[in-house]
Chain A
Amino acid sequence: MTRKTLLVGKTFPRIEAEAKVTGQSRYWLDLPPATNTLYVGLVTSTRPHARILGIDTAPALQHEGVEAVLTAEHISGMLGNMLCDRPILAAHTVRYVGEPVALVLARSPAAAHSAAALVQVRYDDLPVAITADESLLPDAPILHPEFSAYQGAAALGGGDLPNVAARFTMTAGDLEAGWAQADVIIEQQYHTSVRHHAALERHGASARQKADGTLILWASTAAPYALRKEISRALGIDAQRLRVTCARVGGGIGAKSRTSIEALVVAAAMAYPGYTVHLELQQSGEFTSVFVRPALSAYLKMGVTRQGEIVAMQARYAWDVGASADACLETVWSAAYAGTGPYRIPHVAIDSEAVYTNHTPAAPMRGNDMAEVHWAIEQHIDQLAAAIDMDPVAFRLHNIVKGGDRLALGQIMHVTGLDQCLQKVTAAIDWQRRPDDRPSMARGKGLALFWSPTTVAPDHSAEACARFDDDGCTIAIDNEDAGTGLHTFVAQLAATELGLPLDWVQVSPVDTAQGLQYPQRKATAEVCSVGNAVLMAVRRLKVHLVQQVAAAWNESPNHIDIIDGIVISHATERQQALDEMFRAGIATAAGPSFLRPLEARGYATPSPFFASDDPEIASILYFCAGAAAAEVEVNRTTGEVKVLQLAAAVDVGHAINPDLVLSQMKGGALQGLGAALWENLIYKDGVPINPDLYNYHVAMFTDLPAQLFAHIVEVPQEGGPYGARSLAADVPVLVAPAVANAVAQAVGLRLTRMPITAETVWRFLREN
């Protein structure tokens, strides 16, 4: 008898790869133009913080081809998932440069563009706070004076200080007792920069209201269901009236799972029924009007005994979330509940807060929330190890959380491959060998561990739908694959379960018309919840299929199986190819018996590992873990830092598609390197001065370190589909602190501010 081929744990090309490399894939901007289109010229704030005194739309309305100019008078509503704190259009106040203030609707893109320049907004400038530290000063301007009236505000523990939108705290043990046990206590402040997602594809959206009043939105989004929910609520319409559909996504990096400008076109389409309203952001808009990644100001105090035991930790994480906190709430939450890093610490007090500032609202980046926190923790760990004269590897191994340990959260930790990851990366860069310095060049090695909670929203059930017809099997899930490999992952699970060759399975473009009821909001939980939902759907599908065949063949369903696309009876050895069954009917003695198209739905409600007292925000499913190591060379005269080798290892549970996982890791590693050395959206007096790809440096081909290693560690995740835990989108977290630790080893100084530029190193070397 033929053996069943397992399609999990094996490398396949991405299922949509061929369409992408031939240019056949359609991304949002590639969709054919609609007739009767009104193009949006977006008028955005030029001020970081100001009252709007008046908007003069008359000159723009005079412009040829202009149909209307819409302002907050015509479009109102607050966007948000848990906290509705982002106006669709600025009404009385602007809070960041790039904030949408008005929409010009015109017959051509050129007219929209020129008329937008004619809209005159009169401002009365207000004081500006651009960092969390600034916003927390007693005399800081208050960004949202009406905060307490926002929907969702009450549940978040914020509002206790002006500009604090949310506050989460975690405590364990007795901090004072902890300090008393410690032989060495180190305190330090760390800062990360505001970064930008910089996916190549810009944001864009178009919408139309049909004669029957229904609305359709086409958007460059990976999360149509989440958009539908947020937009319909903000505009006060029934969710069923709005259909959201997406094309291929040209990279999300976190910024395409949340709602921003899409609500504008839906509102405008409602005002102009029958027209397609089309909005394309230009490059500067992409940097200023959608999302950035939040910056963190972290204060850490940790105590350690001479024997190398970390006994106490106090942390204050002040997140600079920009003008809206909603998209960052999970980040801020995770920082509190996972804010110890992967270490066993008995006495803990962590406070994590979302702080409003006058820049573009922040959102998660590349699937992960913990990068900034580890920038602080992992540097601190190195400092502690040095203070008690212990090797950083031994110190970490001694203190890491292992399976069975009780966490500060109170829960018992599950098993991860954290220690294996550490071994992999230290071996990869030959950790034991101290690098040789040259007179003008100092070399150093550094490492970092990470853990990151996979969080799920309270409405965290996932749903999938599987169909079978003569095109093969089609799976519908709620998230587009913005590059993570999610769709290939899902197809591999389905093909394995159904006994089909991989190319019989496709994942359909995501569209709310498919009617899934339980959309996910977050990309990182998908592996577990979406994967399990898909497994259930295809298992049900298979049962239906087998039953039909069994009935036609007059056999027991127990004897029938599908292997490599062939339906086989183990009892009678009778067999027929499945595609033929669909084409020509099930062969029976009495002639063909036609197979009905089949459909089945699957659901998954994973049970959380940890749920906090803030049930509205999230709960933790499990922790992902990994390690990174870097070797750097620092030019003592100029301060230039060059990364010679970089290694990352992540425990993904089970790599359903090993090469795709490695590809994620390598991509993440380079992004992490960018965070460490270059990426920084700089604001001068509240105005971003490098909002384009020429001035904001995204790692290029020539930035790749000479040696880049990626390693998979597999300690199966209980409850994960085939033991899978993650697609390894987490790597950027690791790399930046590993590089910082390597620089510290090379030149004996600690750079606590991201990014580590040549000038900062130079200045430090000169002053010390």
Chain B
Amino acid sequence: MLSYHYVRPRLLPEALAALQREGAEARVLAGGTTLVRQLKQQRVPVSLLVDIKHIPDLHSIRIDSRSGSRIGTTLTLEELAAHAGVQKYYPLLAEACAAVPAWQVRNRATLGGEICVGSRRSAILAALLCYEAAVTLHGAAGEQVRPLSDFIRDVYSDKSLLHGVLLSHILLGPRLRRFGAVFRGLYQYPGQRHPVVGAAVAASYYEGNFQHARVIISGVNPHLQRYTDVEQILMEGTLDEDRLQRAAVELGQALHPVDTTQASAEYQRAMALHLFRQAVQGLRTQLGNSK
């Protein structure tokens, strides 16, 4: 029968020391929306829970449109959705957090938890990738800042990378001028936790051209990622139908859907391309460039 200890550190170093001491069977407890379920199912060996919700630094948020922002990983989805600074400068993130249907979940689930779970269907992670988020990690090797996209990819191929590691903050770059980000998702029903397939497109717009384009498709490939070749095509010149078509073809080649019970591979692909176009269209409208 499982039996584990519980600690509630007030400072980051205390938390890190506890994690290090305990080794592989220590788990970080934030909102618990995933971990508590795993504890009940007794699927993971656990000897210690480190509750990080009472470390003030991890629950701090600084939004700065010029020098970049720093968001503690224990902020809840509800707090992010309601934060005026997030709404203003990172609206897609606020929107994605607000779109999580159950209020009870938004009140508990944290940004850090969303990242650790790393669902390929997460609209929140897609939004973070649009804003080129980086994540501050603390582990045996000390403190480290890594681009979120790399972190997601690495954890996907090796879950054990999460052991003994604590995510303290999300860093978002300075806000670009005339930058927008749009997400379009396909839901089986309005209150679904994650869309089956989604497309996020972000860019800034200068003189008829997209710059800093970011394209993310959720729910199709094994983990969330940016499609840089598609982004390149979008930025090559004026975005006409021809270019959009080339981008879509490129995207289609980069997708490797497999049948799931929710959607066949074929449907996933068709929907991803449809949503991608919709997102591009939405972005143009948002940036006031309907040409």
Contact = CB atoms under 8 A, between A and B. Distances in A.
User: Do A and B come into direct contact in the complex, CB within 8 Å?
Assistant: yes
Interface of A: 110-111, 113-114, 637-638, 640, 677-678, 682, 684, 689-690, 694, 697, 699-703, 757-759, 762-763
18 contacts: A638-B274, A640-B186, A677-B189, A689-B261, A690-B261, A694-B193, A699-B189, A700-B101, A700-B190, A700-B191, A702-B189, A702-B190, A703-B190, A703-B191, A757-B188, A758-B186, A759-B263, A763-B267
B270 interface: yes
Contacts of B193: 694
B261 A638 contact: no
Given A110-B1, A114-B1, A638-B271, A697 B189 contact: yes
Contacts of B261: 682, 684, 689-690
B191 A701 contact: yes
Nearest to A701: B191
Contacts of B270: 762
A758 B192 CA distance: 14
A499 to B, nearest CB: 48
Contacts of B160: none
A637 B275 CA distance: 10
B191 A637 contact: no
B289 interface: no
Nearest to A699: B189
B164 to A, nearest CB: 27
Task: Rank and list the top 9 A-B pairs by shortest CB-CB distance, nearest first.
Answer: A702-B191, A702-B190, A700-B191, A759-B267, A114-B1, A110-B1, A682-B261, A703-B189, A637-B274
B188 A697 contact: yes
B285 interface: no
Contact of B42 (A111, A114, A637, A684): A114
Contacts of A703: 189-191
A541 to B, nearest CB: 48
B264 interface: yes
Given A700-B189, A703-B190, A759-B267, 17 more contacts: A110-B1, A113-B42, A114-B42, A637-B274, A638-B271, A678-B188, A682-B261, A689-B261, A697-B189, A699-B189, A700-B101, A700-B191, A702-B101, A702-B190, A759-B264, A762-B267, A762-B270
Interface string B260-291: 01011001001100100000000000000000
A758 B188 contact: yes
A111 B190 CA distance: 41
Interface in B177-198: 186, 188-193
A97 B189 CA distance: 28
A640 B186 CA distance: 9
Interface in B1-50: 1, 42
Interface of B: 1, 42, 101, 186, 188-193, 261, 263-264, 267, 270-271, 274
Contacts of A694: 193
Contacts of A682: 261
B115 to A, nearest CB: 20
Nearest to A766: B270
Contacts, number: 43
A646 to B, nearest CB: 15
A701 B191 CA distance: 8
A701 B190 CA distance: 10
Contacts of A697: 188-189, 192
Nearest to B192: A697
A638, A684, A703, A763 — most chain B CB neighbours (10 Å): A638
B267 to A, nearest CB: 5
A737 B101 CA distance: 29
Q: Which of A678, A684, A690, A758 has most B Cβ within 10 Å?
A: A758
A219 to B, nearest CB: 24
A693 to B, nearest CB: 12
A684 B190 CA distance: 26
A640 to B, nearest CB: 7
Contacts of A111: 1
Nearest to A114: B1
Nearest to B40: A282
A477 B277 CA distance: 62
B275 to A, nearest CB: 9
B39 to A, nearest CB: 12
A102 to B, nearest CB: 19
Contacts of A689: 261
Contacts of A690: 261
A689 B262 CA distance: 11
Contacts of A684: 261
Contacts of A757: 188
A690 B1 CA distance: 27
Contacts of B188: 678, 697, 757-758
B26 to A, nearest CB: 22
Nearest to B267: A759
Nearest to A674: B189
Contacts of B189: 677-678, 697, 699-700, 702-703
A358 B228 CA distance: 48
Nearest to A640: B186
A365 to B, nearest CB: 20
Nearest to B186: A638
B228 to A, nearest CB: 27
Contacts of B190: 700, 702-703
Contacts of A699: 189
Contacts of A110: 1
A110 B189 CA distance: 36
A444 B99 CA distance: 29
User: Among the interface residues B188, B189, B190, B264, which one has the most CB atoms of the partner chain A within 10 A?
Assistant: B189
A640 B271 CA distance: 11
A517 to B, nearest CB: 45
B214 to A, nearest CB: 24
B262 to A, nearest CB: 9
A762 B192 CA distance: 20
B183 to A, nearest CB: 15
Contacts of A759: 263-264, 267
A315 to B, nearest CB: 31
A703 B261 CA distance: 21
Nearest to A700: B191
A642 to B, nearest CB: 9
Contacts of A678: 188-189
A380 to B, nearest CB: 28
A667 B42 CA distance: 36
A763 B270 CA distance: 11
Contacts of B42: 113-114
A27 B42 CA distance: 28
A695 B191 CA distance: 12
A111 B267 CA distance: 46
A425 to B, nearest CB: 24
A700 B188 CA distance: 12
A628 to B, nearest CB: 20
A113 B1 CA distance: 9
A694 B194 CA distance: 11
A45 B259 CA distance: 27
Nearest to B193: A694
Nearest to B260: A689
A78 B121 CA distance: 46
B244 to A, nearest CB: 16
Contacts of B267: 759, 762-763
A702 B263 CA distance: 22
A762 B186 CA distance: 13
Contacts of B186: 638, 640, 758
Contacts of B191: 700-703
A104 to B, nearest CB: 13
A76 to B, nearest CB: 31
Most chain B CB atoms below 10 A, which of A689, A757, A759: A759
Contacts of B192: 697
Contacts of A762: 267, 270
